Every structure is written in C-alpha cells, then in structure tokens.
Structure 1
Amino acid sequence: MLDRMNDSSIRAYLTPRLGIMLPLGFASGLPLALTGATLQAWLTEAGMDLTTIGLFAYVGLPYTLKFLWAPVMDRIVPPWLGRRRGWMLVTQTGLALALALMALVGPSSGAQVFAALALGVAFLSASQDIVYDAYRTDVLKPEERGLGAATWVMGYRIAMIASGSLALILASRMGWSVAYLCMAGLMALGVVTILLSPEPEEAQVAPKSMAEAVWGPLTEFLSRPMALALLGLIVLYKLGDAFAGALTTSFLLRGMQFSSEDIGVVRAFGIGATILGAFIGGALLPRMGLFRALFLFGVLQALSNLSFLWLAWVGKSYPVMAFAIGVENLTGGMGTAAFVALVMSLCNHRYTATQFALLSSVEALGRVFLGWPAAKLVGLAGWGPFFFVTFLAALPGLWLLWYLRKPVADHAEMNVGRSEIEAPC
C-alpha cells in the first residue's frame, strides 16, 4: 500500500500543476520577510527603539485587509493572460519596482516615510497573494492539495532563504540597500514563471457583477454550519506561532546578542527543516485525514515555542539557537501544509480569490496585531516568560479544532465538486 502511495505521489509531481507550485511559491514568499523579519533586522541595526520596531508590524495590515479588494480580482478579468495570470503579472511587476524604491530610500528618510514605502510593498504583496492563492486553489485537484501545499511551501521557504538568510548576509557585507535591490531583481524573475503557468483544467466562471463578487462569497460561506466557529479556528490555529514570531529576530539580535550573519546562516538550516516538515505533512495528510493532521501538527507547533524559552534560559548558545530554529521550522512546515489544505477545502471556486483572501486575512490578524503587545510583554516580564505565554496562546486553537473535528472532516470530504454549487443571487 505504501509503495502504491509513493508511486502515486511521484506521478503527481510530474504533472504541470504540481511542478509550477515551486517557482510560484518562491515568488509568493519572497516579499513577506522584506516587510517582516528582515525589515525588523534592518530597523534594529539602524538604531530604532524596540517600541518603534514593534509598531512597524502594522505595515502588515494589507495581509489582514486584503479581502476588501479581493472581489475586484475575482470580478475583473485583465485583457491579458486571463483572470488569474493577468493579475499575477501586474502584481509581480509592481513588487519588483516597489522593492527597488524601498532600497533606494532606506530608513534614513525617517520612520514615517520608510513605513509608508514598506506599507506599499505589503499592499502589492498581499494583492499578489490574493491571486496566487486563488490560482493554486483553482488549478490543483482535491487529491493534489497536500502535495501541492508542500511543494508551494518548498518554493516559499526557498524564497525565505533569499529574503531572510541571503538578504542578511548581503546586508552585513554590502549594505541593506544593495540587499533589497537584489531582492527586487529576484522578484522580476517571476514574470517568466507566470507566462509558463498552465490554466485550470475546468473553466472557472467569474461573478456576474461586482455586487455578486462582494456579497456572494460572504453569503455562501456564512450559510454553512459552524461558519463563525471555523473563522475562529483560522484565527487561533497559528496564533502561538505568530505571537512568538513577532519579535523572534529582535530576541536573537538584541536579547541573545547574535549577529545578523549568525542568524542568516542558521536560518538557512531552518528553512531546510521547514521544507522537510512540509513534505512530511503533505505525505501524512492523505493517510491521517485533515483533522488528525491539523491536531497533531498544531500540538508540535505549540511545543516548538518552548525551545526559545530554553534558549532564553541558557543564554547565547549556537547549538541551542540552531535547535530552536530547526524545531520551529520543522513543525511549522508540517502545520502549514495542513493549514493550507484546510483553507483550500473551505473555498468555493467561483469566489476563490475573495474567500481565500478573507480566510488568510483572518489568519494574519495575529501576525499583524501582536507586535506591540509582544514588545510590551518583553519589557514587563523578559524573554523567557514571553515565550512561555506564546506556548499558552496556542492552546485555545487546539481546543477549538477538537470541538470542530466533524465540520473540518466534512469540509475536506465535501469540497470535491463545490465549484459546481450555484452562486447565491
């Protein structure tokens, strides 16, 4: 049986649908760190105070609010490359230009000006995610979603090596502006991938009007049993990870006194752990089922936060830092593969862009709004208690997942053919 599953997995990776997930995942993942952890390192080395750095987390607001303009990308079809790939080309090109501008200006222009530029990059990145997520959900068959999510995560995390580890190393040797210009150049390479990407096998019908594009996705989703509880699960499932990640880079730089190059080198190892975790999660998901995979991987994600608590206790230690980053990324990759499969299972293909954007925006709430509270908690209690609180923050999501185990399993089974459901008028 295992041999048959392995043969099936190998054949799946030979299809254009699965193969294209790697470079598209790379293009999707590159901008995030450049307005997150890597930007945090730039601001730290520029001498900004911790509270200001925490407030810079709010430039990620577009990731939370992207559902507001997602209906436009569902309804309007560009005059080139179709409904999905046309928007992919627009956002990809815009990001390359915006990152170049951010590199040329730098934080020396002042916190407000630089934050506005970072916000623009985040807006374009969020817009790119809207259409990338919709395209991935539309083009992959339901049985390919575990492996497709794993392949996407591989490309995404390779991009994190580039925008995280490589950018930090480049910055330490050549300066931050050069590092960001190099990242802008890498974004431009994604245009070739977009031109070669296949169209979905099944034709997807766009909403007939903007009113339908706005209200249809909400009406359809909220008509399902336990819809609000499912939204709560999306918020809480990765809350512990988001809380810990809000200041992890500053913890390693300022709290533990590691250099940016130290962190960049070790994070390259951590990215490999994420890729491994994603493929473990993608391979186990069809055998375990969506609920059991989400629960097991969620428990492991919560426990991984305690490894940073250990590092805070023992002090500056390269082996413990490598262990903490490795464990966090391994379990995070497993959880992400299952979480992406969950979100895809909740989408109606008629409204993929808006529904996926809504769900991923809800998930991003923790990542955006926890920066300032995290900074205040560290100031009051210290790094060790902070990471213990991040572990506790993961527990409500696990409880809610257990409570929703039947609806989660039902959505995974019922998703086949959901694109054929008639849109509400």
Structure 2
Amino acid sequence: MVVLLFLGFSAGLPFLLVFSTLNARLADVGVETATIGFFSWLGITYSIKVFWAPVVDRLSLPLLDRWLGKRRSWMLLAQAGIATGLVLMARTDATVAPVTMALFGLLVAFSSATQDVAIDAYRIEIAPERLQAALAAAYIFGYRVALLVAGAGALYLAEFWSWQVSYEVMALLVGIGVVTVLISREPSVNHHGVAADLSERVEAEVQRYGHLSPRLARLAGWFSAAVAGPFVDFFHRYRRFSILILLLVSVYRICDLSMGVMANPFYLNFMEFTKTEVADITKIFGFFMTILGSAIGGVLVVRYGVRRILLTGAVLTALSNLLFALIAQYPPNLTSLALVVSADNLSGGMANVALIAWLSSMTSAAFTATQYALFSSLMTLPGKFIGGFSGLLVEGFGYAEFFVISAFMGIPAIVLCLWAIRRGPELDAMAPQAEAPASDTR
C-alpha cells in the first residue's frame, strides 16, 4: 500500500502540468485564448493509451528488464520521459515558441500515459484480489495529493518565483516515483487473467493462421488473443446495447472536460483573481470538496444503485456549469467563487465515483485491464477533443455564453443515463456472471 501510495503520486503529478496548470501558465504569460484551447489536445494522449497498452504489457525493454523486471522498467523509462519533458517545458517561452512548448508537453503527456498503463498492470499483479481495493484506495489518495501539488503548489511557486522554477521543482518531484520504483519489488505472480501469460491463447490462435509464415502467424495470433479478444468479448456480451453503452461512456464527461479547459483563463484573465487566490479556492478548497463529493457518491451508490447516481451526477455537473455562467455576470467575489467551486467539485466527485463503479461492473474478469482502458479512453477523448475548440467559443461568444453551451453539452449524457436506468434489468443480465450477483446496479 505504501508503494502504491507513492506510485499514485507519481501518476498524478504530470497530469495537471499539461492540462489546467499549463493553461494557467499560458494565460498568465499572455498566450491567446484560442491557442490555449488547442493546447488542451495534449490531454488526448491519455485517452488513446489503449492503443499502445498491449505493447507495454508484453514487450520487455533491453537491459532495464533484466535489472528491474517488466513493470518497473517501463515505469522508470516513462518517469525519465516525464522529468525530461518538464525540464524542457520549464525553459521554453510559450509566447515565442508555442509549437516547441506543445511538443515538450506531448513528451510529458505520452510518458505519463505510458506510466499509467505500467502502474495499472503493476497494481493488478503485485497482490491477490482481496487486497486490490486497499491498493486502489492508496493509489487514488496519492494521485489526489499529486494533483494538489501540481495544481496549487505549482501556482504558488509561479506566484512567488517564476513558472520556470515551478516546472523545474515539479521535475525534481518526479524523483519520488523513481525512488519508489527502485526500492519496490517486481511482481512475481500474476493474479488476473488479463495480464497472465497469453502463450496458450496465442498458440491456439496461431492455428487459425497456418497459411501464413510462422512469424506472421504468431503476430496475427498474438493480436487476436491479446488485443482483439477483449473487444470481441465486450461486443458479444452486450450485443445490441454495446454501441449505446460506449456512446454513454464517451459523452458522460464532455460537459465537465470542455468547461475545465477554460476554467483557469476565466479565473485569471476574465475575473482577474491572483494565482494565489485561484490556488486557495480551486485547488486546496476544491481538493477537499472533491474528496467529500466522492465519499457522498460512494454512499449513495450503495444506497440507491449506480445508474441512478450516474444520472444525478450528470444533471448536477450540467447545472454547476450554469453557475459559472451566473458568476460571470457579476464583479469578482471570492465567496461566490468558493460556492460555485464547491458545487462543481462536489458534483464532479459524485459523478466520477458513479462512473468508475459502473464501468468496473461491466468489465470481464478475463480482460479487466484492457476493457477498462477502452472505457477510460472513451470517457475522456471526446471531451478533450471538443475542449480544444473552447478558446474559439470564448473569443466568439464570451465566457458566460460558453458556460451555457458547455452545460447543454451534458444533455446527451442525461438522456442516455435515463435509457440505462430503463434497460437496467437487461443490462444486468448481460453483465459478467462473476460480478453480477455482487452488486446492485439499479
């Protein structure tokens, strides 16, 4: 649990440094709002990690694999990429070389997404199933602490020193993850079928490609077993509901993610709060509100079922965006900002808990990691892609109108949640048999 606590910190640290903290930096140094919106596309890297996850899962790195083992070697390589990218970002002037800044940010985002894949595999393999909940709790807490450091901490450093110092300090903090990797042990036993040795499955698939050369047959067999298998399993299980389920996953966070891109420019440029005030209210205070929202969401899911709270979270998230439109009509006021941030983080924490619980209930025990990677990619990709155009909307209509538009983007999720509630019994019957009796998914 201690190892997963620090690995969670290592995973959470880079995320905001290429997302909202980077947006705050760009806004602070005078980068155009439309350009800031396009920078949010760096976050798409996290949404497409499913494409190279099988490579991280199966490929052994030369030299490092002998020294550290497969999981730790990939984590160390990814951490080296994160630290290098952060140092380069620290020493780049975004107003002079925005493309260069974007490329260095891409290095950080790609390395961070790769680290996430390796850590997820490590967590699954390092302990038996009965300990997985405890490990996940430790990981999430470390991740949240890292978000606080990379959010409020980075803003404080930028306020009292400079953005270069801020990003250089963040690069040094990557060392926490490096030390954790070096002193931890490599998993010796794999407890989940998805990360197990696929040799038998591959050999069975190879027989189907006997007309190819041995090398191509093995490659085709590996792809069919390790990559295509999880997707075939999902579509076979949910049949005619598969597309609607994936559509709900993909639109559920559009409202939240599209608004989040312009949050820091709104605080700093439009409302003219200081970086310290933004850090105090949105990062530190917001951190505790998110934790509270997550706790409330967890209790409500147990009491009322995951789909009902999924709907509640979708409605509250859309309404909280309208609150931002409301405060945009009035002079800056810290109390009003705190109230709106409270509503936003409480609803966001509740919605995320319900979404994670729902996605977990639909994953097959044989393909947990890959199917969850599919879901996690889909739930962020559309929102981050649309968020790239948020700067253009702000420039064309204004912040208040943008927040209203982002609120209306939540309507498809609300409609699909209502559909999921209505089809609940049928969806439960299609759920993995090992998990269906364990939870109420009304």
Deviations 1:296-333 (A, max 9, x none): 22322222222212211223111111111122112211
| Amino acid in structure 2 at the alignment position of 1:105 | T
| Amino acid in structure 1 at the alignment position of 2:20 | A
Distance in 2, Cα, partners of 1:263 & 1:62? 27
- Find the partner of 1:416 among 416, 435, 439: 435
Distance in 2, Cα, partners of 1:395 & 1:142? 38
Change in CA separation of 1:410 and 1:238 when aligned onto 2, cut-off 3 Å: farther
The offset of 1:164, in angstroms, is: 0.8
* SS of the residue 1:244 aligns to: helix
The alignment status of 1:206 with 2:219, answered yes or no, reads no
Segment of structure 1 superposing worse, 308-317 or 189-198: 189-198
Contact 2:72–2:186 (CA under 8 A) maintained in structure 1: no
- Find the partner of 2:149 among 150, 162, 168: 162
Contact 1:140–1:148 (CA under 8 A) maintained in structure 2: no
Change in CA separation of 1:108 and 1:240 when aligned onto 2, cut-off 3 Å: closer
The alignment status of 1:254 with 2:244, answered yes or no, reads no
Task: Find the counterpart in structure 1 of residue 337 from structure 2.
Answer: 321
| Amino acid in structure 2 at the alignment position of 1:163 | A
TM-score, normalised via structure 2 length: 0.81
Segment of structure 1 superposing worse, 205-214 or 314-323: 205-214
Contact 1:74–1:353 (CA under 8 A) maintained in structure 2: no
Contact 2:23–2:264 (CA under 8 A) maintained in structure 1: yes
Alignment of 1:126-205 (within 5 A): 126-136=113-123, 141=129, 152-194=139-181, 195-196=183-184, 199=187, 202=191, 204=193, 205=196
Task: Find the counterpart in structure 1 of residue 40 from structure 2.
Answer: 57
Deviations 1:380-407 (A, max 9, x none): 3222222122222112112212212326
The offset of 1:218, in angstroms, is: 2.0
Distance in 2, Cα, partners of 1:165 & 1:260? 9
Gaps of 5+ in 1: 1-15, 419-425
| Amino acid in structure 1 at the alignment position of 2:256 | D
The offset of 1:261, in angstroms, is: 1.8
Task: Find the counterpart in structure 2 of residue 216 from structure 1.
Answer: 229
Give the aligned length: 400
Segment of structure 1 superposing worse, 328-337 or 199-208: 199-208
| Amino acid in structure 1 at the alignment position of 2:197 | A
Distance in 2, Cα, partners of 1:410 & 1:126? 34
| Amino acid in structure 2 at the alignment position of 1:250 | P
The offset of 1:286, in angstroms, is: 3.1
Task: Find the counterpart in structure 2 of residue 10 from structure 1.
Answer: none
Task: Find the counterpart in structure 2 of residue 390 from structure 1.
Answer: 406
Alignment of 1:326-365 (within 5 A): 326-365=342-381
Distance in 2, Cα, partners of 1:39 & 1:25? 21
* SS of the residue 2:156 aligns to: helix
| Amino acid in structure 2 at the alignment position of 1:58 | W
Contact 2:428–2:436 (CA under 8 A) maintained in structure 1: no
The alignment status of 1:28 with 2:11, answered yes or no, reads yes
| Amino acid in structure 2 at the alignment position of 1:88 | M
Change in CA separation of 1:327 and 1:193 when aligned onto 2, cut-off 3 Å: farther
Distance in 2, Cα, partners of 1:417 & 1:133? 23
Change in CA separation of 1:336 and 1:24 when aligned onto 2, cut-off 3 Å: farther
The alignment status of 1:292 with 2:308, answered yes or no, reads yes
Distance in 1, Cα, partners of 2:356 & 2:428? 14
Distance in 2, Cα, partners of 1:142 & 1:133? 16
Task: Find the counterpart in structure 2 of residue 421 from structure 1.
Answer: none
Distance in 1, Cα, partners of 2:74 & 2:167? 24
TM-score, normalised via structure 1 length: 0.84
Change in CA separation of 1:197 and 1:417 when aligned onto 2, cut-off 3 Å: farther
Change in CA separation of 1:77 and 1:416 when aligned onto 2, cut-off 3 Å: farther
* SS of the residue 1:314 aligns to: coil
Segment of structure 1 superposing worse, 126-135 or 55-64: 126-135
Distance in 1, Cα, partners of 2:399 & 2:163? 27
Change in CA separation of 1:142 and 1:249 when aligned onto 2, cut-off 3 Å: farther
The offset of 1:240, in angstroms, is: 0.8
Deviations 1:243-298 (A, max 9, x none): 21121111111111112221111121101111122222234333333222322223
| Amino acid in structure 2 at the alignment position of 1:217 | P
The offset of 1:345, in angstroms, is: 3.0
Contact 1:31–1:122 (CA under 8 A) maintained in structure 2: yes
Alignment of 1:49-88 (within 5 A): 49-76=32-59, 79=65, 84-88=71-75
Distance in 1, Cα, partners of 2:153 & 2:34? 26
Q: Percent identity among equivalent residues?
A: 35
